Amino acid sequence: MEAEAEGPERMIGRYSPDVARLGRSLIARMRARIPQAHALVYDNYNALGVGFARDLSSASVIISVVLYPRW
């Protein structure tokens, strides 16, 4: 899990332009919709997940955006 301060932006660069654009849009929409939420970033070998939680615990994630390199 990445620290919230680093965010997903540096990791999105390896995704196709369409996926990166959609991912940025969805993450921005979730941040606007629930601005008080913490963004927990999970980066692994085949996907990038951003979970939005009430605190820094993965158990409190209420919604996630998951990006795969090609879709």
Tell me what pLDDT residue 1 has: 43
Task: Give tens-digit pLDDT for 18-34.
Answer: 999 999 999 999 999 99
Give a yes or no: residue 44 inside a domain.
yes
Distance between CA atoms of 15 and 63, rounded to whole angstroms?
21
As a whole number of angstroms, the longest Cα–Cα distance in the chain is 31
Query: What is the chain's mean pLDDT, rounded?
Result: 86
Q: How many CB atoms lie within 10 A of CB 36?
A: 6
Q: What is the number of structural domains in the chain?
A: 1
- 41 within domain boundaries: yes
Predicted TM-score (pTM) of the model is 0.80
Print the domain residue range for 35: 9-67
2 lies in some domain: no
d(CA 54, CA 8): 18
